[in-house]
C-alpha cells in the first residue's frame, strides 16, 4: 500500500466476516500490539545505525519497512495513540459509551438528527466541537468501525433499508457477469498483493462481494479502478463485509463529489482542476515553478484522489486522514494534498526536472509515518478552506470539464464517421 511496505503475515484473529464483528472495546486503554522487528545490517562501509532497515507488521496486517528513525517515529505515534485512547475512554466514562452517536451538527455539510438552529442545545454544540477535535487527533482503532459508521452517516443510510438488504443483494449478483464484474475479477489479484489475507482466496472473495454488490446497487458508477483499494482498506478496518459495503456506499453517495468514479471520471477531472487552483492560491511559488516546468499536478494527484491516499500514505496515516474525511467531508483531501506539496516546498523550488518532482512527492508521501505532522500541516499551515468555497470552485470547473468532455466526444464521433 504504502510505498515501502512489503509482504507481511497477519495475526491469526484477523479475518473479516460477512456479519460478525471481531473488535471488542477494551475497558481501560488502547490495545497494545506486539511487533517483531527485524533489522537488516547495512552493507560494509555503511555502518551508520540510522541506515539499519527494520521490518515489522502493522495493526492492519501490512509489513512496514523503514530505518531506525522511522521506527522511532512510529513508536512515538503509537504512544500518542495510546494516550488518545485513554482520552476517548475517559469521555465514554463521563458522557456514556455512545456519546458520539447522539444528534450533532454535521461537519460535512448536513446534519444528523435534523437539528435546527433554534432548537440547538449547548450540549449538542459542545459534543460536536469535542468530537471534531478528538477525531483530528485520531480515532482509536478499536472504535473506528463504530465511529465511522456514525459520523459518516453510513449507519443512518443502512437503517433505511431492510436488515437483509446486503445478503439479498449479494444473492442477486451470484452467477451474473457484467463489464464491472469482469474488471473487478481482473483487479482483485492486484489489490495489495503483498497483504496475506487480501491475497488469499477468502480475502479476494470477500472483497469481490463488496465491490460487485455495490456495482449492482449503483449501475451508473458500476466499478472504477481505485475503488478496489478503497474497499479493501475499508474491509480491514470495519471487519465485516456489510459494514465495509455501507461505508463504501456513503463514501460514494454522500461524502465525495458526484461522478468521481463514473465512466468519464468527470468528477475526478473537476477535483483535479479545483486542486490546481487551490495550489496556486495556497502555494503560489510552488504552482508558478511547476507551471514553468510544464508539470501537471494531476500526474500525482489523480491517484491520490481516486484511491483516497490508500496507495500513497502509510496505513495508519491513511486512516487518520479517513477519520477526518468521514467527519468533515471531501475538503480534507485538498488539505492533505496541498500539505504534501507544502512540506517539500524548498526542495520542489530547487529542482528542474518533472521526474524529480514525482520522485520527491512520492518519497515524501510513502514515509509520512507521523499522521500528526501531516495533519498539522494540512490544517494549520494550509489555512482554512470552507466547504462552501470549494463547492463554488467546483461549480465553476464543472462547466469547463463538461465542455471539454463534450468536445472530446464530438471529435471522436467525427473521426468514426470519417473512418
pLDDT confidence band for 105 (50 / 70 / 90): low
- CATH node for 264-416: 1.10.472.80
Distance (Å) of CA 180 to CA 42, 149, 168, 191, 208: 46, 26, 19, 16, 11
Bridge partners (DSSP) of residue 111 are: 105
pLDDT confidence band for 7 (50 / 70 / 90): very low
Please name the fold of domain 153-253.
Helicase, Ruva Protein; domain 3 (1.10.8)
Q: Tell which wins on pLDDT, 264 or 342.
A: 342
Report d(CA 369, CA 70) in Å as an integer. 7
Q: CB neighbours (10 Å) of residue 258?
A: 15
Q: Which contiguous run of DSSP H or E holds residue 54?
A: strand 53-57
Mean pLDDT in residue range 192-213: 96
Mean pLDDT in residue range 214-235: 94
Phi, psi angles (nearest 5°) of residue 171: -60, -35
Q: List all residues 6 or more positions away from 93 whose beta carbon is below 8 Å from its beta carbon.
A: none
The answer to whether 306 and 298 have CB atoms below 8 angstroms apart is no
pLDDT exceeds cutoff 80 at 38: no
Q: Which contiguous run of DSSP H or E holds residue 63?
A: strand 63-67
pLDDT exceeds cutoff 90 at 106: no
The closest of 66, 43, 69 to 56, measured between CA atoms, is 66
Instruction: Give the per-residue pLDDT at 28.
Output: 32
What is the strand order of the sheet 38-40 is part of?
A: 38-40, 53-57, 63-67
Strand blocks (E) in 88-192: 104-105, 111-112
Q: Which contiguous run of DSSP H or E holds residue 64?
A: strand 63-67
* Residues forming CATH 1.10.8.270 domain(s) in the chain: 153-253
pLDDT exceeds cutoff 70 at 233: yes
Instruction: Give the per-residue pLDDT at 107.
Output: 52
The answer to whether 16 and 239 have CB atoms below 8 angstroms apart is yes
Mean pLDDT in residue range 127-152: 92
The per-residue pLDDT for range 291-338, each reduced to its tens digit, is: 999 999 999 999 999 999 999 999 999 999 999 999 999 999 999 999
pLDDT confidence band for 407 (50 / 70 / 90): confident
Mean pLDDT in residue range 203-227: 94
The answer to whether 324 and 332 have CB atoms below 8 angstroms apart is yes
The answer to whether 348 and 341 have CB atoms below 8 angstroms apart is yes
Residue 345 burial (10 A CB sphere; 0-12, 13-18, 19+): middle
Instruction: Give the per-residue pLDDT at 319.
Output: 97
The answer to whether 67 and 54 have CB atoms below 8 angstroms apart is yes
The answer to whether 228 and 184 have CB atoms below 8 angstroms apart is yes
Instruction: Give the per-residue pLDDT at 15.
Output: 47
pLDDT confidence band for 101 (50 / 70 / 90): confident
Cell 541506515 sits at which residue?
A: 51
Helix, strand, or coil (residue 59) = coil
Report d(CA 379, CA 373) in Å as an integer. 10
Instruction: Give the per-residue pLDDT at 69.
Output: 86
Instruction: Give the per-residue pLDDT at 13.
Output: 40
Q: List all residues 6 or more positions away from 6 whose beta carbon is below 8 Å from its beta carbon.
A: 55, 63, 65, 194
Residue 195 burial (10 A CB sphere; 0-12, 13-18, 19+): buried
* Residues forming CATH 1.10.472.80 domain(s) in the chain: 264-416
The closest of 49, 3, 84 to 369, measured between CA atoms, is 3
Instruction: Give the per-residue pLDDT at 299.
Output: 92
Report d(CA 353, CA 357) in Å as an integer. 7
Mean pLDDT in residue range 350-372: 94
Instruction: Give the per-residue pLDDT at 414.
Output: 65
Report d(CA 7, CA 24) in Å as an integer. 27
Mean pLDDT in residue range 353-365: 95
Report d(CA 308, CA 324) in Å as an integer. 12
Instruction: Give the per-residue pLDDT at 393.
Output: 86
* Average pLDDT, rounded, for the chain: 83
Which DSSP state fits 308?
T
Q: List the single range of 55-69, 139-153, 298-312 with lowest mean pLDDT.
A: 55-69
Mean pLDDT in residue range 228-245: 97
Amino acid at each position: 500500500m504504502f510505498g515501502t511496505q512489503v509482504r507481511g503475515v497477519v495475526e491469526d484473529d484477523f479475518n473479516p466476516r460477512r456479519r460478525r464483528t471481531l473488535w471488542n472495546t477494551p475497558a481501560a486503554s488502547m490495545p497494545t500490539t506486539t511487533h517483531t522487528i527485524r533489522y537488516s545490517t547495512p552493507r560494509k562501509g555503511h555502518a551508520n545505525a540510522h541506515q539499519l532497515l527494520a521490518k515489522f507488521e502493522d495493526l492492519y496486517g501490512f509489513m512496514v519497512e523503514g530505518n531506525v528513525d522511522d521506527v522511532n517515529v512510529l513508536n512515538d505515534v503509537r504512544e500518542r495513540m495510546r494516550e488518545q485512547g485513554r482520552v476517548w475512554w475517559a469521555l465514554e466514562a463521563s458522557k456514556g459509551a455512545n456519546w458520539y452517536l447522539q444528534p450533532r451538527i454535521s461537519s460535512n455539510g448536513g446534519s444528523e438528527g435534523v437539528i435546527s438552529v433554534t432548537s440547538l442545545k449547548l450540549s449538542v454544540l459542545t459534543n460536536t466541537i469535542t468530537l471534531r477535535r478528538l477525531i483530528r487527533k485520531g480515532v482509536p482503532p478499536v472504535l473506528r468501525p463504530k465511529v465511522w459508521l456514525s459520523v459518516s452517516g453510513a449507519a443512518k443510510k443502512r437503517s433505511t433499508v431492510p436488515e437483509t438488504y446486503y445478503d439479498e443483494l449479494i444473492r442477486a449478483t451470484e452467477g451474473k457477469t457484467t463489464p464491472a464484474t469482469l474488471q473487478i475479477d481482473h483487479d482483485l489479484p492486484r489489490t495489495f498483493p503483498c497483504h496475506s489475507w487480501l491475497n488469499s482466496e477468502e480475502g479476494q472473495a470477500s472483497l469481490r462481494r463488496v465491490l460487485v454488490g455495490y456495482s449492482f446497487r449503483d449501475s451508473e458508477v458500476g466499478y472504477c479502478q481505485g475503488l478496489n483499494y478503497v474497499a479493501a482498506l475499508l474491509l480491514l478496518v470495519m471487519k465485516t463485509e456489510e459494514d465495509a459495503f455501507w461505508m463504501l456506499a456513503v463514501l460514494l453517495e454522500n461524502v465525495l463529489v458526484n461522478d468521481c468514479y463514473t465512466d468519464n471520471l468527470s468528477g475526478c477531472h473537476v477535483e483535479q482542476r479545483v486542486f490546481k487552483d487551490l495550489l496556486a492560491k495556497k502555494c503560489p511559488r510552488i504552482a508558478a515553478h511547476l507551471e514553468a516546468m510544464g508539470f501537471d499536478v494531476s500526474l500525482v494527484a489523480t491517484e491520490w484522489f481516486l484511491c483516497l491516499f490508500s496507495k500513497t500514505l502509510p496505513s495508519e496515516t491513511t486512516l487518520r486522514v479517513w477519520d477526518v474525511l468521514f467527519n468533515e467531508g471531501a475538503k480534507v483531501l485538498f488539505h492533505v494534498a496541498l500539505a504534501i506539496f507544502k512540506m517539500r516546498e524548498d526542495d520542489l523550488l530547487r529542482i528542474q526536472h518533472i521526474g524529480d518532482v514525482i520522485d520527491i512527492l512520492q518519497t515524501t508521501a510513502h514515509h509520512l509515518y507521523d499522521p500528526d505532522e501531516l495533519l498539522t500541516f494540512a490544517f494549520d499551515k494550509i489555512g482554512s478552506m470552507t466547504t462552501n468555497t470549494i463547492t463554488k470552485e467546483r461549480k465553476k470547473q464543472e462547466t469547463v470539464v463538461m465542455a471539454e468532455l463534450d468536445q472530446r466526444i464530438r471529435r471522436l464521433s467525427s473521426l468514426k464517421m470519417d473512418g
